[in-house]
Amino acid sequence: MKKCKENYLLVSFIVGFLIWLSATIVFRVAGQHFFIVENVSVMISLYILLIPALGFISTFLFNKFKLGNLESIKSAAIMVLPGMLMDTLCIQFFETVFPNMPEMYSKTFGAWLMFAYSIVLISGLMRKNKNTSTT
């Protein structure tokens, strides 16, 4: 079991990368159909949907590996790292990466991404201690 638990950081990184990749593909292909900045109801819905979706994914991973508080924080930080690194390029080259969305959406998109990363980090920080391990 200890050997399996040691892999939680690698799995966290892979999960974070796969979430980033999936979301980037969805936004590149169909972002114009649901990321509608001018529609306040749609934007509020997109923000609200992130909370249970990302909260569930991160909590599932924390529970799968029986992570304690510190481990959950580490896992959350590693989970958001690939997306944060790659999204710096996506935002910088917004019109190339997301040609289906107007460039003026880039600021709102960047803010939405920061909110998404915050949800994962908060999930790790707010974790109740389920394990006495601190590694």
- Which pLDDT score is estimated for 2? 56
The band of 19, judged by pLDDT with boundaries at 50, 70 and 90, is: very high
Q: Which residue has the higher pLDDT, 100 or 134?
A: 100
CA distances from 60 to 106, 114, 122 (A): 31, 21, 14
- Which pLDDT score is estimated for 5? 73
Share of the chain above pLDDT 90, in %: 89
Q: Is the pLDDT of residue 1 over 90?
A: no
DSSP string across 22-91: HHHHHHHHHHHHH--TT-HHHHHHHHHHHHHHHHHHHHHHHHHTT--HHHHHHHHHHHHHHHHHHHHHHH
Domains of the chain by residue range:
9-125
Q: Is the pLDDT of residue 25 over 70?
A: yes
Return the structure tokens found at 6: 């040691």
